[in-house]
Amino acid sequence: MTKQKNDIFIQGPIPQSLIADVIAEHGSKSDIGAHSVFLGQIRADQVGGKSVQAIEYSINSELALQKMAEIRKAIFDNYPVNCMHVYHSEGMVQVGEICFFVFTSSAHRRAAIGACDELVERIKKEMPIWGKELFEDNTHQWKTNR
Amino acid sequence: MTKQKNDIFIQGPIPQSLIADVIAEHGSKSDIGAHSVFLGQIRADQVGGKSVQAIEYSINSELALQKMAEIRKAIFDNYPVNCMHVYHSEGMVQVGEICFFVFTSSAHRRAAIGACDELVERIKKEMPIWGKELFEDNTHQWKTNR
Amino acid sequence: MRIQVKTFGALTEILEREFYVTAGDTAELLTALSRQHPELSHRKLLVAVNNTIINTPVDLRDNDVVALMPPYSGG
Amino acid sequence: MRIQVKTFGALTEILEREFYVTAGDTAELLTALSRQHPELSHRKLLVAVNNTIINTPVDLRDNDVVALMPPYSGG
């Protein structure tokens, strides 16, 4: 039930159909009682009078896959989760589109919620991914996470 | 953006299409950066050698709508969330089907995640809803929350 | 005082879902029901009068609606 | 030692994405790069050697791959 390592990165936005499919495909599992989902979406942040139009994500893929395997193992060791899916965009994602999708399932709600929250925090903090915020006048700035 | 009170209860399972639609319809909002979603699903719990086949939910609707308005107000007061949607099944829901759906959106992730978690906990604890667990031999027991 | 009583969850297997009784306050109502249905006495019950949960007995007036509810188990 | 250097994020606007240099250890490499590109010296950098993050200088061998990375900003 654990997904393959090389499924993490999606070129461009995470399609709504992928999100719907991942949620729907767990319905057949009779030992699951809770799903927790996090979605990150591109926001039109205002910076000095200019508005973010898109973010272009670049990734150190080798290091990222290695780090993701480490995070995945830690989550499975710490939470009784049945399933865990993580997708992150690579390349260009426009305002309003989804760039980050985390999905966890478990028998009882606390494991799914705790695992999802920890995945979101660790991925944002530990994954070698960089976002370049693009403005309408073709200037850009590099995103910094809070 | 706050949903109407009378939209909370769905006869039977929460349709996958409703979940997909709620997630998709927030893509146009350029001030949203995070969505947090919780889904509750009917589990085939084993009780004394028998397996749960379905749960039949009954609700004290008047009290529930009043309580939901109170919870919704408290969440909007405490978290900077843009959107909040809650759906709970009434009547029969089979194993593997979704009976509970909470969706929150905010500019930054902590508000959406915190609001979603608190909604799930408060609704399970404070909403006058009862689940009757039905077994394959037509016997039943009343669900108790942990 | 003529009171409407509504019951929920597992209580519907002991009492009717809706019925009318005469009672001056909620304590009197619960005592009378427990006498008729001894299996009620060891149950944890939530009581609402006109959709307000009460934690101590309150006086009842004509046409009040009393909801008798077991602990919640939604979600 | 002939080392391959890969750069990421905002660093790609200062350095090439991939290039080869000669350096005996990572401290020597970073000192040389900062001398050529003074804007590097006040930047926070993460350094990985063959996909392992290092926090103190390490010796380099032929064909090692050094990744130079700004703080992460995914999600």
pLDDT digits (tens, 9 = 90+) for A77-126: 999 999 999 999 999 999 999 999 999 999 999 999 999 999 999 999 99
Q: What is the pLDDT of residue B3?
A: 43
Report yes or no on chains B and C touching (3+ CB pairs under 8 A): yes
Position D22 pLDDT exceeds 80:
yes
Position D18 pLDDT exceeds 70:
yes
Span of A72-76, A141-145, B84-88, D3-7 with lowest mean pLDDT: A141-145
Q: How many CB atoms sit inside 10 A of residue B51's CB?
A: 15
Q: What is the pLDDT of residue D42?
A: 87
The answer to whether A84 and A75 are in contact (CB under 8 A) is: yes
> Hey, are the CB atoms on B43 and A27 less than 8 Å from each other?
no
Q: What is the pLDDT of residue B106?
A: 97
Q: What is the pLDDT of residue B2?
A: 44
| Helix-helix angle A109-126:B109-126, to 10 degrees | 180
Q: Provide the number of CB pairs (under 8 Å) joining chain A to chain D.
A: 66
Q: For a pLDDT cut of 70, what percent of chain B falls above it? A: 95
D71 CB-side CA count, 13 A: 9
Q: What is the pLDDT of residue A6?
A: 52
Q: For a pLDDT cut of 90, what percent of chain A falls above it? A: 88
Q: Which of D12, D51, D75 sits opposite A40 (nearest CB)?
A: D75
Strand-pair category, A81-94 with A50-59: antiparallel
Going by the DSSP 8-state scheme, the letter that residue B140 receives in this structure is E
pLDDT, tens only, C47-59:
999 999 999 999 9
Euclidean distance between CA atoms A137 and C29, whole angstroms: 74
Distance of CA B8 to the CA centre of its chain: 8
Shortest Cα distance, chain A CAs vs residue B35, angstroms: 5
The answer to whether A34 and B43 are in contact (CB under 8 A) is: no
Residue B108: both structure tokens together: 């930054």
Q: Which of B39, B97, B107 sits opposite A43 (nearest CB)?
A: B107
Position A4 pLDDT exceeds 60:
no
Shortest Cα distance, chain D CAs vs residue A136, angstroms: 19
For chain C, domains (ranges, CATH) are: 2-69 (3.10.20.30)
pLDDT below 50 — which residues of chain C? Answer: none
> Which residues numbered 70-129 in A keep a CB inside 8 Å of some CB on D?
88, 99-100, 120, 123-129
pLDDT, tens only, B12-51:
999 999 999 999 998 778 999 999 999 999 999 998 899 9
> Hey, are the CB atoms on B129 and C75 less than 8 Å from each other?
yes
- Per-residue pLDDT band for A55 (boundaries 50, 70, 90) equals very high
